[in-house]
Amino acid sequence: MFDWFGKWNRENPVDVERPAILFGVVGVAVVAATALVALGQPWATDSLQTGPRGTGMMVTEFEADLATPDPTIEAIFPDPPYPPEEGEELAGDIYQNVQVLGGLTDANFNRVMGAMTRWVAPEQGCAYCHGDGGPETYGEDALYTKVVARRMLQMTQSINEGWDGHVNANKQVGVTCYTCHRGQNVPSDIWFINTPTVQAAEGWAAVQNRVTPLSSYTSLPSDALEAYLLDDQVIGVHDLDSRVAGVPGQDGYASIQKAERTYGLMNYVANSLGVNCTFCHNTRAFYDGAQVTPQWSTESLGIQMVREINNDHLLPLKDQLPPERLGPQHADMPKVGCRTCHKGYQQPLQGTNVIGDWPELATTGTPDYGSGEDALSQ
């Protein structure tokens, strides 16, 4: 008596598998969402409030990521200085052609030289700067690496002495050669000029619309670092009004192109520090300097510091470097940016005090050996 039912089902098939899968997926999602609400998410997060409460100005990170140390910190170990004793002979009187650290005692001078070898050329050793001729030839400036290293010593002292507001904004940390080099001859995350990016085009298209590392792999302009970390161009966005009389870039307000460059720089900064826009800005008023966070001032100093490093310390060394160390497109000097030191962290080396053992690198004057141990204990 039920043959008609079987016949009807055979003649009118119904797809029940796909709806079942759909309902199953939705059911699992509902159960998972309910569990997250009731039990809390299994991957705990921590947040850093960067602005007023209720404005959403915070940086959120997984606790597991915060607990994972920067692997390059492992190479840092205590190496305290030797307090000078009265009457000790100085390096400038012992060795030839000591132009920067000549006022150090022999023990401290060689301690700094050994550290520079670990920081910059752990595989090549002393020969990286001094050649294979032996100690009797160490006074010669035969290799470009020695000339550059001398200038980098002066640069490190200048950073520690003149840019305290940026380097030590949160606590005393300082910088050494290791802050950038991390055991490499050439620091990672340096940059070269690579515009124009579209050889067949003229005008604005020639500096954007082709993803490059300098544009953080976006279609934003690839010359933002050149404009703001090398040249002293004004960082700014276009006018808030939809129609403004006058010519953009000439009559008191930024052009769309400058706004895009600014976004390119901000994208680079955020990626370099591993943060988002609210680390420095209130997103309801990016343009209002009265509503920024304290980190905005620190970053502004950092931009000025990087400009000084590039223009006063790196560019003058171009004639010293061999062709293989220059840029592939314009044969320009390697330059630094935020990521050269930060490497994806809010603070380089996650805020490790690297200067405590190295008062010789903290000043262009006489090192303060009396504060070395105190700094290490912080």
Is 57 assigned to a binding site? no
d(CA 265, CA 251): 23
Is 280 assigned to a binding site? yes
d(CA 79, CA 153): 18
d(CA 342, CA 172): 16
- Other CB atoms within 10 Å distance of the CB of residue 166: 18
3-state secondary structure of 74: helix
d(CA 104, CA 185): 25
Is 116 assigned to a binding site? no
Whether the upstream peptide bond of residue 367 has omega within 30° of 0, thus cis, is no
Residues 333/326, Cβ–Cβ less than 8 Å:
yes
Judge whether residue 376 has pLDDT over 50.
no
Cα-based torsion angle of the residue sequence 203, 209, 210, 216 in order, rounded to the nearest 10 degrees? 120
Is 305 assigned to a binding site? no
pLDDT for 88-100, tens place per residue? 999 999 999 999 9
Is 266 assigned to a binding site? yes
**Residue of 273, 190, 265, 255 whose CA lies nearest to 220:** 265
Helices (H) and strands (E) in the chain, counts: 14, 2
Q: How many CA atoms lie within 13 A of 146 on its CB side?
A: 18
pLDDT for 104-151, tens place per residue? 999 999 999 999 999 999 999 999 999 998 888 999 999 999 999 999
Is 281 assigned to a binding site? yes
3-state secondary structure of 249: coil
DSSP 122-191: TTTTTHHHH-SS-GGGTT---SHHHHHHHHHHHHHHHHHHH-HHHHTSSS-----HHHHHTT-SS-SS-B
Is 341 assigned to a binding site? yes
Residues 325/147, Cβ–Cβ less than 8 Å:
no
Is 330 assigned to a binding site? no
Is 129 assigned to a binding site? yes
In this predicted structure, what is the pLDDT of residue 64?
Answer: 67
d(CA 268, CA 191): 12
Mean pLDDT for the stretch of residues 182-199: 90
pLDDT band at 5 (very low <50, low <70, confident <90, very high): low
Mean pLDDT for the stretch of residues 289-314: 94
Q: What is the CA radius of gyration of the chain?
A: 28
Tokens in use for 312?
A: 């006063």
| Number of residues written out for the chain | 378
Burial 189-221 (b: 16+ CB within 10 A, else e): bbbbbbbbbbeeeeeeebbbbbebebbbebebb
Judge whether residue 375 has pLDDT over 70.
no
Tokens in use for 156?
A: 């490190």
Residues 139/95, Cβ–Cβ less than 8 Å:
yes
Domains annotated on the chain, with CATH: 75-187+354-376 (1.10.468.10), 193-342 (1.10.468.10)
Amino acid at 284: R
Is 342 assigned to a binding site? yes
